[in-house]
Structures are given as C-alpha cells and as structure tokens.
Amino acid sequence: MKTLGSRSRNENTKLAKIALYALLAFVAFTIADLGIIYFRELMIPNQAPPKKNSSIKPPAFIDRSQFSVITNRNLFSSTGVMPEAITMGKKTEDGKKQDNAPTPSQLPINVIGTLVHSDPNKSIVALELKGKNMTGSYSTGADVEGLAKIERIERNIVYIRNSNTGALEYIEMNSASSKVAFGAAAKTEASKPGKEVQMTGTNTFAIKRSDLLKYTNDLSSVLMQARAVPNRDPNTGEINGFRILDMQPGTIYEQLGLQRMDVIKGVNGEPIDSVQKAMEMYNTLKNGNQVKMQIERGGKTESFTYDIK
C-alpha cells in the first residue's frame, strides 16, 4: 500500500510541474503579444524607403524583331526586289501615300509657257523636251512622253510626278523668258519688228521655215505679245475660237495679217475650241508646209493661207 501511495504522489508532482510550465509559457506568450501590440505602431515606417538604382542587365540573347525595320524595308534587296524609293513619301492612316515637299526636277524638260484656267483641270503648260528636241502642250494629268505626269499647273511653274522615282517635282519657267511681257519696252529677238512674213496675195502669205522656227522656239515670248480670250457662241455658250483683244505693233501676229478683235476659229479645218488646241496650233505652224487658218472678222469667216518654205 505504501508503494502505491508514493507512486501516486510522484505522478501528481510531475503533473503539477507540467501545469506550472504551461502556465508560465502562456503568461510569457501573453506578455509578448501585448508588447507587440504596444510597440507595433512605433515599428511601422512613416516614410517611403529611398529608391535604389536598379541595374538593367542586357538580354542574354538578341531578339530578331529588333531588325524587323531592315527586313521589312528590304534595304539590302535580299528578296531580289528593289525597295520603294524613300522620296515617294510616307503612308497615311488610310493607306494613301503622303508626298514629301516637291524638289526641283532634273528631267530634260523646260517650261516655255503656262495658261492657268480657273478650273485646274483645264490649265495648259507648253513644254520643251530637250532630249527629243520637241515641244508640246499638256493638261493636268497628262503623261509627258513617259518621263513624268502633270500633277498641277500654276503661273510659270508646273508640278510633275517623276515616272521613274514617283517623287513630286517642279519645273519653273526660265527667268530669262519670263521677263518679256505685253507692253514692255525691252523685246527679245523674236519680238523685234521685221518682215519675215511676205504677203503674196489676198489673205495669202509666205514665210521661211528658219524664220518661223525663230518664233516657235521662243514660244513664251510670242504668247506675251498679244492678249486673247476665249470666244463663246452666244447661243450655246461653248468656246468656238479665241478673240485677239490687243497685240504689240510689228509682232508676228500683225505680220500674219491678224487684226485686233479677230477670232481665230480653226487651223487646217480643225476647230480651235479649247486652250490645248490653241497651243497645238504652234506645232502645226512648226511642222507643216502649208497652214490654213480660219478667221472671223466683222461677222464673216475668212481663210488665210500660209506657205512655209
């Protein structure tokens, strides 16, 4: 019985110690928790920490997309196809190309005269193609012998689209040619009074081809020696010729037998009913051997014949 009693006391003692340790641990955790609650607000920082310079490391490999600009533009013609010229301009949002500022053209073309209409599509420019030794008149949108396309015509200047590069360019009329004006005291060689045209009969004339070329090669001066306006049919309102309002004395117009208020209605049976055909009349004079011109004078139509020798 004694042995059982002593064993029971030992077990009770152990349980008491364990309970004491548990109570001490509980009290310690409680005190620590209360301490953290008390000091927690003091431990929270009241300002942001200073920024650190983060070092950017280069990628371990090079992404091919970085060279997409080169591959897309095909700058080195790896596909065997030449890329678009840079001078053709950038594309806008709707896919249309936006032109760069026009640049002076290097094409072998000279502007020898312009006729600007209120409707830009009806404006005419007379051009000299130096490489082909020929002249011609062109309207807006016309092709110039495969070299360029007429984009816009203004006074003494024409804007073209270079057929080779697609770039927008411009050509100005020679400043020396533009000095000649109606009523000016100074005259060029083509505007000096002379007797190149000989009257051989009633409304018939003869002129040497060499003398005629002197005028047709200086077309800008010839155009400025007279002032003409479109003449319209009073019934239909359509152009049926060009009326000469005034001219310089002794000029080629006077030598050809023309007078003020005459209406040039046709050349070689072709009606002159547009500005372009009026310009083409000069090519007819230059290349033909005989030219017949229909003139309305005083309400009557007369025929004038010019023999080119």
209 and 271, same structural domain? yes
pLDDT of 205-248, one tens digit each? 998 888 777 776 666 667 677 777 778 787 887 888 888 877 88
Paired tokens of 78: 């790896």
CB of 174 closer than 8 Å to CB of 111: yes
| pLDDT tens for the chain, residues 1 to 309 | 455 566 777 777 888 888 888 888 888 888 888 888 877 777 777 777 777 776 666 666 667 777 777 777 666 666 666 555 554 455 555 555 566 788 899 898 888 777 777 788 878 787 878 777 666 678 888 898 889 999 999 888 999 999 988 889 999 886 444 333 333 333 444 444 457 788 898 999 998 888 777 776 666 667 677 777 778 787 887 888 888 877 888 888 888 888 888 888 988 888 888 767 776 766 666 677 888 889 998 888 999 998 888
CATH number at residue 129: 2.30.30.830
Does residue 242 lie in a domain region? yes
Same domain, 304 and 192: yes
pLDDT at position 179 is 37
Domain termination residue (choose one: 142, 177, 212): 177
Q: Which of 130, 157, 177 is the last residue of a domain?
A: 177
Helix intervals (H) in the chain: 2-43, 68-73, 209-216, 219-223, 252-255, 275-287
Structure tokens at 129: 């193609």
The residues that bridge with 150 in the sheet, in sequence order, are 160
Q: What is the pTM of this model?
A: 0.42
CATH code of the domain containing 268? 2.30.42.10
129 in any annotated domain:
yes
Residues 158, 194 within the same domain: no
Residues 219, 298 within the same domain? yes
Amino acid at 52: K
| 72-84 core/surface letters (b: 16 or more CB in 10 A; e: else) | eeeeeeeeeeeee
Which pLDDT value is given to residue 61? 65
Domain assignment present for 5 = no
Shared domain for 187 and 205, answered yes or no, is yes
> Is 255 within a domain?
yes
Q: Is residue 233 part of a domain?
A: yes
Check whether residue 298 and residue 192 sit in a common domain.
yes
Query: How far apart (Å, rounded) are the C-alpha atoms in residues 255 and 249?
Result: 9
Tokens, residue 123: 């404006």
CA 13 from centroid of its chain's CA atoms: 108
> Per the structure, how many domains does the chain have?
2
Round to whole Å and give the CA distance between 158 and 265. Answer: 28
Residues 209 and 157 in one domain: no
DSSP state of 80: S
Whether residues 195 and 161 fall in one domain: no
Query: Which amino acid appears at position 192 of this protein?
Result: K
Q: Judge whether 7 lies within some domain.
A: no
In-domain check, residue 158: yes
Does 272 lie in the same domain as 206?
yes
Residue 275's domain spans which residues? 180-308
Residue 89 lies in a domain: no
Per-state percent for the chain, helix, strand, coil, to nearest 5 = 30, 30, 40
Residues 140 and 249 in one domain: no
Last residue of a domain, one of 146, 177, 208: 177
Q: Is the same domain home to 234 and 283? A: yes
Do 203 and 300 lie in one domain? The reply is yes
**What was the pLDDT predicted at 15?**
82
Q: Where are the alpha helices (DSSP H) in 59-208?
A: 68-73
